[in-house]
Amino acid sequence: MVPFKILVAVCLAYVCMLFMVAFAAERRAQRGQIGWLRSPLVYTLSLSIYCTAWTFYGAVGYAARSGLEFVTIYLGPTLVLVGWWWVLRKLVRIGRSQHVTSIADLISARYGKSNVLGVIVTLMSVVAATPYIALQLQSVTLSFGVFASGAPEGWATPDQGATTLWLAGGLTLFTILFGTRNLDANERHHGVVMAIALEAVVKLVALLAVGIFTVWSVAGGFVDVLARIDASPIADWPLAPGRWIGLTFVSAAAVLTLPRMFQVMVVENSDERHLATASWAFPLYLMLMSLFVIPIAVVGLQALPEGANPDLFVLTLPLTQGQGKLAMLAFLGGFSSATSMVIVAAIALATMVSNHVVTPLWLSLRRGGTRAPGDVRGLVLMSRRLSIAGILALGYGYYRLSGGGAALAAIGLISFVGAAQILPCLLGGIFWRGGTGTGAALGLGTGFLVWLYTLYLPSFGTGGLLSETLMTAGPWGIGWLRPQALLGIDTLDPLLHAIFWSLVLNTAGYVLGSLATFPGPVERMQGVAFVNVFDHDPVARGWSRGGAEAEDLLAMSQGILGAEEAQQFFQREAEAQGKAGFLPETTPDFIERLERRLGGAVGAATAHAMIAQFAVGAVVSAQDLMAVASEAQQILEYSTQLEAKSDELARTARQLTEANDKLTELSVQKDAFLSQISHELRTPMTSIRAFSEILMDRDLASDMQQKYAGIIHDETIRLTRLLDDLLDLSVLENRKMKLNIKVANLHDLIDRAVRSASNIRPERDFAIRRDVSSEHMPVVTDTDRLVQVFINLVSNARKYCDAPRAEMTIHARQRKGGIIVDFIDNGSGIAGKAQTVVFEKFTRLTDTARAGGAGLGLAICREIMANLGGTIAYLPGQGGAAFRVTLPIRPGGRSDNADG
Amino acid sequence: MTPPRPPLFLARQSYRRRRMMDAARLWPLVGAFLFFLPILWHTAETPQPDTVWGGLYLFTAWTLLIAGALVLSRILSHSDTREQPGQMSEDEAPGPG
């Protein structure tokens, strides 16, 4: 017998190990080493949270009570997974393309990003999950109790209620630590998935171990077990067709609609191809989990005393056989099943609550301040943490209210039927474009109420939440409204009755509501995007034109995605549009992508609402247009015009802002320039003054006089050159340069430049490599100025190239939109940081072999090229210093980005 | 602007792939047939115990279904990667230039 303290210690150690695994996986993922963290195997194992404590303990109990019927709960998911090509493939694709965060998000996104539906689905899911979480608490409490009852020293254990409370508290803490450490953009939890994959292995191994022990150690092998089954109370198989089909159907529905299954199957899916593996591997897992259920049930019924709880045979059978270690393993398996379910379910539900209830509520309360909502991340995380606690509290409440005495399977099925209510509008949403939000709300509402009335409320027992008279005579004595015999049909058993009526009325409400109403524009667009998800080009866009300022959007996104993440996203988008910096054009495509990205963090409806604040005019008029114009072409035309106009306005505003920024910046630069220039002028002046003072000394030797006069002369020349350069620069910068446009052969110009530059450090051995044949092309430009640029580049190389055998490659070619000339030397090049400042005024990178330049050469080059309508840029990664001169074929047309 | 009409007849490989998709769609129906077949046995009315045979039948059918799904998923995911090697998710679509 295992003492209670050791049991608790083992549990804690196990949880610590899970936490470490999750932490390690999280760390790996952060370093970008996703690798096997996201393999098909891990994906399949993570799906196994379908098998909760209900499977681990409850299946045997179910089998001991009603034989083979337990297997329907696993046949349904098997059919869904095997039929992945129908539904799951589409769901996963939609989930990925729409950045869906939960099942409520999916439904809300499909039906026009309506938050009302999100709230309904969230509410239903939370209510439906409470019995399920209660089931997990109950099973772990019972399993603790098993160890308690047999203890010799009477056990200083707390009573059952206290155990459950401790358990609920511990799980809350654990889930919060696990699931809300960060607000992932795509809502993927690498750590959690890894931990539940591990738990999946533990529970499978534990159940198989107990099964093998039962068949080959307690019983006398396979044949003996078959004989025992024949002799057992469940030897006959009273197959009731209604229940058989109904339960298979409900479990098939539940595997699609349970929030936690949706979380691991769709939200956490990282690669669609994993689904192909899961399509056979997960059914295999289910089959292995079910394989020994009947043998354990039969042997348990025979070996254990009358009245033993069959829900606990997995634990009590090894215990009575004196197999403490095996029982411990089984206990851990059950513990795994319960914890993994509670963790994922709580995370999924908390995401739904925070995305569909708390965040929208908070945003609507903060009127006016919503455009730059500050740090929403903190709010979202906190609301998720509180939701997790709330959900576990509800589960605990259900456990206390229901008394904790019911069979595990019976409790689980209540949840299943509740979750299955989402099925009609889910399937309708992905296969039928005609489904509308009103229809979905009607169907969901009807199904939910019928489920509450016929199954959920009666589950608290007669005299619980529904009075005895209501159960037997109906409300106000109306017999055909009895909860378990609607319309007077009392031939069905209560469960089947609830499945039948709730789903029939649900579907009817959905279909009739959809047929009778007309969907809004956003709804219709989303309908197409969902139903035709496999068509490559999405025809419709949610935002017909952008009315938003990129800067505002960035400010808002930073609050949700985090500063770094948001800036990265914006920069990437700007880059894709061919813009530098962080602010892309607010094209409809961009806004669409941004919305989906935000949706990945806070859900589609909230993201849509947040973006709508910035583009509110755009949305309203899009809807008006669609209502008025039936011809799509008309809409397109008009909206293009509007788009152009609003784009223009937005551009103008942005240009103004940019201009203003530039002016401010220029004034700063001017100050810096003045101080620089005084410094530059002062240095030669100082030496001129010093040497002229020496010259004033009469008795100076004449050769010394000669020398000092020479120095003064050199310094004045330097001063003059500096002043010339400055004048030149100021002319160039003001774009007042008179262009003397001529036609010339590029080859000749390069020749000229190379020749002129050869007097710089003439003593140096400097090879120039050119591909002469490619240089022959006509250029129409101010040739003298262009040659000046070339001279500068070549002489710079002569001055600064530090290779022992200095060498320069000049490479010219013509590309669409311009002529490109590269000057590449074989020196050590310019360090990355200096590359950005090399074209600034007074930049001198080294003092070695300094030839008296003021650091204006490249600045002048840049200005010249700008005047000529071309560019000059530093070309990194060429093995030496490399400059690219780009020149338009004809003067006047600037060639932006010709070097890209 | 009308989209180009898809071809009416396909090359041999694409044809095989289409038929495998059909098979993948039909396979759960086969599963449902196998799982619901015992309903026709009227096990509740027959006097002899049938849990043993029923159980053996169900697990055999289950194994068969899994094996079939394994083969189908292999074929489908194999041809899937071969047919669309350059398919990218929108996140990694390259920008112009």
pLDDT digits (tens, 9 = 90+) for A446-505: 999 999 988 888 877 666 666 777 767 777 777 677 777 777 677 778 889 899 999 999
Q: Would you call B83 an interface residue with chain A, using a CB distance cutoff of 8 Å?
A: no
| pLDDT for position A536 | 55
Q: Where are the alpha helices (DSSP H) in A376-493?
A: 376-402, 408-420, 423-431, 437-451, 468-473
Nearest to A238 among B44, B52, B74 (CB): B44
B60 Cα to chain A: minimum distance (Å): 10
Give the distance from residue B23's alpha carbon to the nearest chain A alpha carbon, in angstroms. Answer: 10
- Place A407 in a pLDDT band, splitting at 50, 70 and 90: low
Helix extents (H) in A474-587? 494-516, 521-531, 550-561, 563-576
Which pLDDT does position A103 carry in this prediction?
92
Q: Under an 8 A CB cutoff, do A237 and B44 touch?
A: yes
Q: Do B62 and A78 touch (CB under 8 A)?
A: yes
- Pick from A47, A39, A89: nearest CA to A344: A47
Q: Whole-angstrom Cα distance, residue A215 to residue A221?
A: 5
Among B2, B35, B39, B90, most A C-beta atoms within 10 A, so best to mutate, is: B35
From A330, A270, A205, select the one nearest A41 (Cα to Cα). A270
* Set of chain A residues whose Cβ sits within 8 Å of the Cβ of B34: none
Q: Which of A39, A44, A68 to mutate to test the interface with B (most CBs of B within 10 A)?
A: A68
Q: What is the CA radius of gyration of chain A?
A: 38
In this structure, of A543-547, A695-699, A881-885, B19-23, the range with the lowest mean pLDDT score is A543-547
Identity of the residue in B24, B25, B96 whose CB atom sits nearest the CB atom of A576 = B96
Q: Is some CB atom of chain A closer than 8 A to the CB atom of B9? A: no
Nearest to A576 among B36, B73, B95 (CB): B95
CB contact under 8 A, A234 and B51: yes
Probe site for chain B from A82, A277, A597 (most B CB atoms < 10 A): A82
Sketch the domain layout of chain A as residue ranges: 4-363+378-421, 422-539, 657-732, 737-887
Q: Using a CB-CB distance cutoff of 8 angstroms, which residues of chain A are in contact with residue B96? A: 576-578
Whose structure tokens read 């008279």?
Answer: A469
How high is the mean pLDDT of chain B? 75
Contacts of B76 in chain A (CB under 8 A): 85, 276
pLDDT category, A154, cuts 50, 70, 90?
Answer: very low
Report yes or no: A297 and A310 within 8 Å, Cβ to Cβ.
Answer: yes
What residues are paired with A871 via a beta bridge?
Answer: A886
Q: Which residue in B has a C-alpha nearest to residue A249's C-alpha?
A: B32
Q: What is the mean pLDDT of residues A78-94?
A: 92
- Which chain B residue has its CA at the smallest distance from A74's CA? B62
Contact A895, A888 (CB under 8 A): yes
**Between A815 and A286, residue with greater pLDDT:** A286
For chain A, the average pLDDT equals 81
Contact A294 B95 (CB under 8 A): no
Domain A4-363+378-421 annotated CATH 3.30.1490.20? no
Q: Return the residue matching tokens 């994959």.
A: A197
Residue A72: closest C-alpha in chain B: B35
Nearest CB to B35; choose among A229, A248, A277: A248
Residues 6+ apart with CB under 8 A from A455: A414, A417, A418, A494, A495, A498, A502
- The C-alpha of A493 sits at a distance from chain B's nearest C-alpha, in angstroms, of 17
Residue pair A875/A804 in contact (Cβ under 8 Å)? The answer is no
User: How much is the average pLDDT of A690-704?
Assistant: 82
How many A×B Cβ pairs under 8 Å? 128
Helix then strand then coil, in percent of chain A rounded to 5, is: 70, 5, 25
- Residue A513 bridge partners (DSSP): none
Confidence of residue A545 (pLDDT cuts 50, 70, 90): very low
Q: What percent of chain A has pLDDT over 70?
A: 85
Contact A503, A421 (CB under 8 A): yes
Is A97–B90 a contact, with Cβ atoms under 8 angstroms apart? Answer: yes
Averaged pLDDT, A640-657: 86
Would you state the pLDDT for residue A588? Answer: 73
Distance (Å) from the C-alpha of residue A99 to the closest C-alpha of chain B?
A: 11
Q: What's the pLDDT at A374? A: 59
User: For an interface test with A, which of B34, B48, B51, B78 has the most A Cβ atoms less than 10 Å from its Cβ?
Assistant: B51
Å from A4 to nearest chain B CA?
Answer: 38
Single-letter amino acid, residue A610? M
Searching chain B, which residue's CA lies closest to the CA of residue A273?
Answer: B77
Assigned fold of A657-732: Helix Hairpins (1.10.287)
Flag if A273 and B70 touch (Cβ within 8 Å): no
Q: Are A621 and A642 within 8 A, CB to CB?
A: yes
Encode pLDDT of A245-282 as tens digits: 999 999 999 999 999 999 899 988 888 888 999 999 99
Looking at residue A144, its amino acid is F
Determine, for residues B73 and A593 on separate chains, whether the beta-carbon distance falls below 8 Å. Answer: no
- Where do runs of H (alpha helix) occur along A150-266? 160-179, 190-213, 222-231, 241-257, 259-262
At residue A41, the 3 state secondary structure works out as helix
- pLDDT of A580 reads 66
Q: Left if phi > 0, otherwise alpha if psi is -120 to 50, otherwise beta: which for A487?
A: left
Q: Which residues of A touch B77 (CB under 8 A)?
A: 273, 276-277
- CB of B60 within 8 Å of a chain A CB? The answer is no
Closest approach of chain B CAs to the CA of A173, in angstroms?
35
- Kindly tell me if the per-residue pLDDT of B89 is higher than 60: no
Tell which residue, A416, A607, A375, has the closest CA to residue A503.
A416
ipTM of the complex model: 0.81
Identify residue A676 by its one-letter amino acid code: Q
Tell me which fold the domain A737-887 belongs to.
Heat Shock Protein 90 (3.30.565)
Shortest Cα distance, chain B CAs vs residue A231, angstroms:
9
Position A447 scores a pLDDT of 94
For the cut 50, the answer to whether the pLDDT of residue A725 exceeds it is yes
Judged by CB atoms closer than 8 Å, whether chains meet at B51 and A235 is answered as yes
Q: What is the pLDDT of residue A854?
A: 63
| CB B83, CB B17: distance < 8 Å | yes
What's the distance, CA A367 to chain centroid? 28
Partner residue opposite B77 with nearest CB, options A276, A284, A576: A276
CA distance B84 to chain A (A): 13
Q: Do B54 and A237 touch (CB under 8 A)?
A: yes
Query: Residue B32: closest CA among chain A residues belongs to which residue?
Result: A79
* Predicted local confidence at residue A370, as pLDDT: 47
- Cβ contact, residue pair B81, A244, below 8 Å: no
pLDDT for the residue A446: 94
Which residue in A85, A238, A239 is closest to B25 by CB distance? A85
B20 contacts chain A (CB < 8 A): no
Give A319-360 pLDDT, tens digit per residue. 888 888 898 899 999 998 988 888 889 988 998 998 888 888
pLDDT exceeds cutoff 90 at A38: no
